[in-house]
Structure formats: C-alpha cells, structure tokens
Amino acid sequence: MKRPDDIKDKIQAVRETYGRDLLILGHHYQRDAVLAHADERGDSLELARKAAARKEASRIVFCGVRFMAESADILTGPDQAVYMPEPAAGCPMARMADEMAMRQAWTRLNRARAGWLPVVYVNSTAEIKACCGEWGGSACTSSNAARVFEWAFRQDKRVFFLPDEHLGVNTACDLGVPDDQVAIYDPRQPQGGLDDETLRRARVVVWKGYCLVHAAFSPEHVREVRRRRPAAKIIVHPETPRPVVALADAHGSTSQIIAYVKNAAPGSEIVIGTEQNLVQRLADEERGRVTVLSLSPVICANMAKTHANTLLALLQEWPASHRVTVPEPVAAPARRALETMLSL
C-alpha cells in the first residue's frame, strides 16, 4: 500500500506535468486528504461554474458525486472532459426521482389543473434537469431556492419541486406559503397519493425525496444541545426536516453555514447540522476563536468513496469508465434549466 506521502508526491508530479490543462475540483464534503489536492473547493454548482470558466483546462477532475460531475459536463465546453476518481459515488436523493416518474407526475398535475412550473434542485440527475428545461422551468440551489420560487410566483405559476421534500417545504414556509397549500407527491403511491382537490388547492407540490445525511437530524438532537449548551447557536442545512429547522436558530446552504461561522463573534459556540467532514474542517479552522460542534456526526457514504489513492489512480491512467458525459439531447434542455437559474 502506498504511504500518504508517496501519494501526495505522485499527485503533485502529475499536476506539474499537466499544468493549467488540469483542474481538480473538491466538494466541501470531501475528506481533507482529498481536498488537499483540489485547485478549487466549493458546493456543486459553484465548482461546475468554475470548471466552465477555466476554458484552458481540458481535463476536469470532480471529487464529489455523479450529479455534480454531470452539471460540470453540461456547463463546460466540447474541448473539456470531466472525470470522477470514483464513478460509483452517486447520490441516493438524486436517484429518488427518475425521468419516467417525473413525466407521469407532470401529467397528473396538469390534468388536475394548469399553471405549473417545474423547479429542480441541482442535486438531481441530468435527465430530471432536462425535463425541467423542456417544460420552461428552472434549476435552483439551496441558497437561491426562494428566489426561484418567487420567480415562478411572479408569473402566477404554481411550483412543482423535486427531488428534495424538505428543501421544498422549508422554502415554501420561508416564503409564507400556508401549510394547506403545500402538498407532498409520493411517486410510490397511486396518483402520487394526492387527489384532484388537493392539487387544485396547492401552490407548491414537492417530491417525496430526501438526503440521507440531513434527514438523520431530529428535534431531539436540537433539544439535547439546548439542554447541554444553552448558549450555543444552532444552524442546519435546509435539506433538514421542517421540525428540526423550526427549532434551530438559523438554516442555510453550505456556503451560508460557512459564512455564519466565519462571521460569528469570538467566543461563540455554534452547533451545525450538516455533513461531518465540513463541520470538522470548520472546527479545526476556527479553533481558538469559535467553538464549532456537530448536531450529530453524520458522514455522506458516497462522498467518502473518494480517496487520495483513487484520485492518483485516475490521474495516472485516465480510464474511459471514469469519464462523465451527458448526451447533448439531454444536456441541451438541462443547460436551459441551469441557465434560467443563473439569469436570475
């Protein structure tokens, strides 16, 4: 087995060989041993946009999960190739919505009443984004979901949001949409488990999908922190279930969580409900200034599939099986959904 220093030296040697022709991207949820080799770190869409901006980089390595690499391939140019060190790193939430089920749901909603716009979270497959673009909708991130919902509402449209139930519910609540105007479409149930009257009343319909990491947080986790650390502030990701968000002091995207910690007053205690690698990194970076703790330590198993040694193997061999490509008939409408969001 290669020693860590051997891997580090070998990766650095490859990087020097390729120079600006190589761009390595690392998502915030990656382990430090992987992020140590990243040219850029960030959330999924931020990294995809940085890849598109680095037009001289013909080889893009995305250390993350598959939907992220798909977005990078959609936004980058024809002379840029996107690879993953671990192509088996998928996203269970993204797989909770497939194209056929989405098309069935779209037919169901429009049969009950007209006037819908699809809004898809970037944490979705290219095929789901393509359906959204085909039907005139927009993608969104966890930080701009409210802005995209408002864009739809200004057009007197109703929102069909997928694949994350909790981000959809939390966004609707943040915008003051009454609970009886938010409905949950369950693709495993006949007709989505919704009758026509409910669909006609609904202003927002959310798909019943969830993130395994953020759905693991519970109200009891928050109550336990309140008992043990009454002075602490609690911030959670909006993929967290609504009862947890309601008890927390704040909720925000990954970048907003980072900013919340960085802007905290010295001596503060902050408890974070999101993936553990990010929480631990913030705790290490802020040690001595701010105390950062985890609401409950949860690791994303798919993010954890990428290691420094799999990154090295990719850089040495460039196997075709590790390249991520989205066919243009899918990429074109998916790109429209992403570009609509970016235009907002």
Q: What is the pLDDT, as a whole number, of residue 86? A: 97
Q: What is the pLDDT, as a whole number, of residue 120? A: 98
pLDDT tens by residue, the chain, 344 residues: 466 679 999 999 999 999 999 999 999 999 999 999 999 999 988 999 999 999 999 999 999 999 999 999 999 999 999 999 999 999 999 999 999 999 999 999 999 999 999 999 999 999 999 999 999 999 999 999 999 999 999 999 999 999 999 999 999 999 999 999 999 999 999 999 999 999 999 999 999 999 999 999 999 999 999 999 999 999 999 999 999 999 999 999 999 999 999 999 999 999 999 999 999 999 999 999 999 999 999 999 999 999 999 999 999 999 999 999 999 999 999 999 999 999 98
Neighbours of 154 (CB within 10 A): 8
Neighbours of 324 (CB within 10 A): 21
Identify the sign of the CA torsion 334, 173, 303, 216.
negative
List b or e across 71-96, with b for residues whose CB sees 16 or more CB atoms inside 10 angstroms. bbbbbbeeebbbbbbbbebebebbeb
Query: Whole-model pTM above 0.85?
Result: yes
Coil/strand/helix, residue 205 = strand
Element (H, E) at 270: strand 269-273
Neighbours of 216 (CB within 10 A): 17
Q: What domains are defined for the chain?
A: 4-90+303-326 (3.40.50.10800), 94-211 (3.40.50), 214-294 (3.40.50.10800)
- The Cα angle at residue 337 between residues 152 and 127, in degrees rounded to 5: 120
Burial class of 141 by CB neighbour count within 10 A (0 to 12, 13 to 18, 19+): buried
**Helix-strand-coil split of the chain, %, nearest 5:** 50, 15, 35
